[in-house]
Structure 1
Amino acid sequence: MKLKYGRKKLEFKIESSKVLDILKAKEKEGLAAPQAAVERALADPTGSAPLAELLTAKKIDDLVIIVNDVTRYTPYHHMLPPLLSIISEAGIKKEQVTFIVATGVHSPHSPEQNKEIFGKKIDGNYNFIYHNCDHNLADLGKLSTGNRLKINKKVAEADFVITTGVILPHYMAGFSGGRKSILPGVAGRESIENNHALMIDVIADPPEISENPISQEMFEAAAKVGVDFILNVVTNSSREIVQVTAGNYRQAWEDGINTSAEMYHLHLAKKADAAIVSSGGFPRDINIYQAQKALDHAEHAVKKGGTIIWVAECSEGYGEERFEKWMNEAQKPEDNVKRIKEKFLLGGHKAFAISKVAVEKEIILISDLTVEQTDNIFAKKMTSIQQAVDYLEEKYKGDYSVYILPQGSLTVPVVK
């Protein structure tokens, strides 16, 4: 069997009798004409007038389109041409359109990455701004939770705001897309930290999406900003579009989450002794910070005291300065679990997420990280999946069960 690792695949063998199941997404076929589907969604949206009508109904001098960064693959080659065509037909000039890259607390793209994501034509003809969570923010006041909402000033002052994204499972917020373009996408650092601090209460036993406090606060933030229109897609593991949804920031997004859940929420009868999980290759395993989602998903499928073999290249190392600092300073995983409860800090939340798994389970990591870097995140480095499988045989004396998760960042085991 082969699992994705960066831009390549790693091969290994395991006795089929040990494998309870290979947890793959319940795939839906990609649309035969995805760009035409985008055009239809924009013309006949959910909970909203058609985009063309909205654009001509008010005076627009400054239109903002919020887009995902490199860590969240989104099929913009299908999504943006129809969107920009309608904007142009409404009489809005290119100079009046600004793309805001929703980096949250992430670093900005390189110029080469921007061209790869959005295409040379769009990159060269439109103004792109990378959100900075520490600068150029507008204070929109407090949310009902008490969290003060600070938002990218360009977004806050825009005459019309369109958000774009992809709807996939998310280990904290339930699903990505929709309201996440605002919070955390273009929010201030403190606003993001206060929102993500709620993860401590939900990560061990995720609630239904309608009861998820992280998602609820994100919706309130989107309403406060005044998102005018969204364009979201649901993609399969081959990154093909299976559904396009557009319109009202809540109704259109909710239209897509059922499709996403049908594909990626996998119901299990029981937990296994071990799991072998790939973060899904590039860009999902570009660094530990991003690859962590797969570890969290695999953890739900493994018994307390079990073993997780985690396959993630992490060519860019840890991926976030504070996360690395917390890992350097912790002597044992329990230190980070305790520390996050004393004061929640972004970056620290990833240290907590990995450490809480390490408290109860053994983590074997196959990556480009050094032995020292791997030890530092409370994992054991091995050089191949096969070496790790052989280790399982020895550890359990041949008597163990295992789940294999080839698409670990996407598939969510649900054991009830």
Structure 2
Amino acid sequence: MLELKYGDSKVDIDLSKAKSVKVLNENPMDEITDLKSEFIKGVTTNMINSKPLREVISKGDKVTIVISDLTRFWQRQDLICEQLVDYLVEEIGISYDDIVIVVAIGTHRMQTEEELCQLASKKVYDKVKVVNHDCDADDLVCVGKTKIGTEVYVNPLVVGRKVIMVTGTVHHIMAGFGGGRKSVIPGVAGRETIKQNHIRCLSETEKKTDPRVASRLLDNNPVNEDMNQAGELVDVAFGINIVVNTKSKHSKLFCGDFHDAWIKSCKYVDDCYGVPIEKEADIVIASCGGYPKDINLYQSTKSIFNAARAVKKGGTVIFLAECREGGGAPDFFSWIEPLKRGVLDEELRANFTIGGYIFYALCEAIAKSKMLMLSEIDPNFVKDLNINSYKNIDELLEKVDFEGKDVCVLPYGGSVVPLLQD
């Protein structure tokens, strides 16, 4: 009997009739037991292609720390913020008044004061100025153009100051891997800059995603390469890259050169979360890992993208996502309307948004297989996406025949990436 997380509860599925069952979990990962000690090593002795932090930043410098917003709080950057600010003040002599923390929102909503406090930690929030980035602000600064013409407008607080980027590294459907330079675009960039970069997800010649754009792909990925060039236009003094396990516990810190330390973290993420499979399965069962990872459909899409990597064309995906908050942000699910009218590609190219692209990519992933979803979401809400949604697991399983089938299971579908071996 297979037990998987669903919302705040668990679901049992009988796989006794299956021909084979392969459960994909992350590879063994380290877990940091003494965060302060690990942080100190990261900024004093274990740097990657960088001088120690105290030789990069000096007393009297104006310092900007860039952190991610609430959608990435799983990386627990608040704990890193505490260590970093303490070190800057106590070991280097930086004044609290000379430090500002910018939350890299991209095009997401502004964080409330309570959320800013949560993201930076109360200890830091009470002593240091913490602000939202605004992608529509009038005072954004142009720091140049990338080779393919993206005009890079960024928050003025990352120009002319010593910048420390604190990011979390994961697989990413557009950029290959998240973290690192993504804190520049989209993190602290202008809305038009973000659009110019992200629209490169779409093929220039066909109505589909550019095949060079996908999770794990960095080389020749036009989105990643453009982001890298934008990152070079911002003079980042030091990078701190966080990798966590599926329990959101810190596994490793990769500190030092903004680009090189991030690349090392990508390798570690791929080694831990990239799991080889010899063949695609007849049936893939994917859980997001329960609440809050399955809070809405938008947050749950990572599990569908990874399930699609493991299922045969024409196979079946059983997807467990409670979605107590429905489809998620309007910028995501409102694209159902152009989908119904058959003009999704045209309208996305004309009015590109990140949420719109995730919706677009979701449609492509679903098209590979039959999608059966256990969810509280209204079945009529997702039928135009070709998702058959059920509120009862027994009713869903009546539609599935496991007899003689190869089954692949992803208990943490948003984290583990199946890698089909050649």
Report the Cα distance in structure 1 between the residues aligned to 2:38 and 2:193, rounded to whole angstroms. 35
User: In the superposition, relative to structure 1, how do residues 338 and 32 fare at CA in structure 2: closer, same or farther (>3 Å)?
Assistant: same
User: In the superposition, relative to structure 1, how do residues 382 and 46 fare at CA in structure 2: closer, same or farther (>3 Å)?
Assistant: same
User: In the superposition, relative to structure 1, how do residues 277 and 283 fare at CA in structure 2: closer, same or farther (>3 Å)?
Assistant: same
Match for 2:195: what amino acid?
Answer: E
Pick which of 334-343 and 288-297 moved more: 334-343
Match for 1:48: what amino acid?
Answer: S
Aligned pair partner of 2:50 in 48, 51, 57: 48
Deviation at 1:287, TM superposition (A): 2.7
Partner of 2:418: 413
Deviation at 1:364, TM superposition (A): 2.2
CA RMSD of aligned residues (A): 2.4
Partner of 1:139: 142
User: In the superposition, relative to structure 1, how do residues 135 and 316 fare at CA in structure 2: closer, same or farther (>3 Å)?
Assistant: farther
Aligned pair partner of 1:125 in 124, 127, 152: 127
**For 1:325-404, what aligned pairs fall within 5 Å after superposition?**
325-331=334-340, 335-337=343-345, 339-340=347-348, 344-393=352-401, 398-404=403-409
Deviation at 1:229, TM superposition (A): 0.7
Deviation at 1:335, TM superposition (A): 4.4
Query: Helix, strand or coil for the counterpart of 1:404?
Result: strand
Q: Which sections of structure 1, spanning at least 5 residues, go unmatched?
A: none
State yes or no: 1:108 paired with 2:110: yes
State yes or no: 1:306 paired with 2:315: yes
Question: Which digits, 9 at most, give the CA deviation of each residue in 1:23-79, with x for residues without a partner?
Answer: 11112131222321111001121111111121117x523x21111111111123431
Query: Helix, strand or coil for the counterpart of 1:144?
Result: coil
Deviation at 1:273, TM superposition (A): 1.8
State yes or no: 1:280 paired with 2:283: no
User: In the superposition, relative to structure 1, how do residues 368 and 106 fare at CA in structure 2: closer, same or farther (>3 Å)?
Assistant: farther
Question: Which digits, 9 at most, give the CA deviation of each residue in 1:348-373, with x for residues without a partner?
Answer: 20220111123332222223322232
State yes or no: 1:195 paired with 2:180: no
Partner of 2:9: 9
Report the Cα distance in structure 2 between the residues aligned to 1:204 and 1:272, rounded to whole angstroms. 24
Query: Is the Cα–Cα contact under 8 Å of residues 116 and 131 in structure 2 kept in the other structure?
Result: no
Partner of 2:65: 65
Partner of 2:87: 86
Pick which of 10-19 and 233-242 moved more: 10-19
Match for 1:155: what amino acid?
Answer: V
Q: Which sections of structure 2, spanning at least 5 residues, go unmatched?
A: 202-208
Match for 1:91: what amino acid?
Answer: G
Report the Cα distance in structure 2 between the residues aligned to 1:113 and 1:384, rounded to whole angstroms. 35
Query: Is the Cα–Cα contact under 8 Å of residues 48 and 255 in structure 2 kept in the other structure?
Result: yes
TM-score normalised by length of structure 2: 0.89
State yes or no: 1:34 paired with 2:35: yes
- Identity fraction in percent: 28
Query: Is the Cα–Cα contact under 8 Å of residues 4 and 287 in structure 2 kept in the other structure?
Result: yes
Report the Cα distance in structure 2 between the residues aligned to 1:357 and 1:351, rounded to whole angstroms. 10
Pick which of 307-316 and 232-241 moved more: 307-316
Query: Helix, strand or coil for the counterpart of 1:48?
Result: coil
Question: Which digits, 9 at most, give the CA deviation of each residue in 1:109-132, with x for residues without a partner?
Answer: 344444444432223332221222
Aligned pair partner of 2:225 in 197, 200, 216: 216
User: In the superposition, relative to structure 1, how do residues 3 and 191 fare at CA in structure 2: closer, same or farther (>3 Å)?
Assistant: farther
Partner of 1:296: 305
Question: Which digits, 9 at most, give the CA deviation of each residue in 1:132-186, with x for residues without a partner?
Answer: 2222422223211111112123223x41111111212112212111111111111
Partner of 2:205: none
Partner of 1:230: 239
User: In the superposition, relative to structure 1, how do residues 313 and 69 fare at CA in structure 2: closer, same or farther (>3 Å)?
Assistant: farther
Query: Is the Cα–Cα contact under 8 Å of residues 71 and 283 in structure 1 kept in the other structure?
Result: no
Deviation at 1:5, TM superposition (A): 3.1
Deviation at 1:11, TM superposition (A): 1.4
Deviation at 1:267, TM superposition (A): 1.2
User: In the superposition, relative to structure 1, how do residues 95 and 281 fare at CA in structure 2: closer, same or farther (>3 Å)?
Assistant: farther
Report the Cα distance in structure 2 between the residues aligned to 1:228 and 1:133, rounded to whole angstroms. 22
Query: Helix, strand or coil for the counterpart of 2:340?
Result: coil
Query: Is the Cα–Cα contact under 8 Å of residues 239 and 256 in structure 2 kept in the other structure?
Result: yes
Query: Is the Cα–Cα contact under 8 Å of residues 20 and 402 in structure 1 kept in the other structure?
Result: yes
Report the Cα distance in structure 1 between the residues aligned to 2:65 and 2:270, rounded to whole angstroms. 27
Query: Helix, strand or coil for the counterpart of 2:262?
Result: helix
User: In the superposition, relative to structure 1, how do residues 283 and 244 fare at CA in structure 2: closer, same or farther (>3 Å)?
Assistant: same
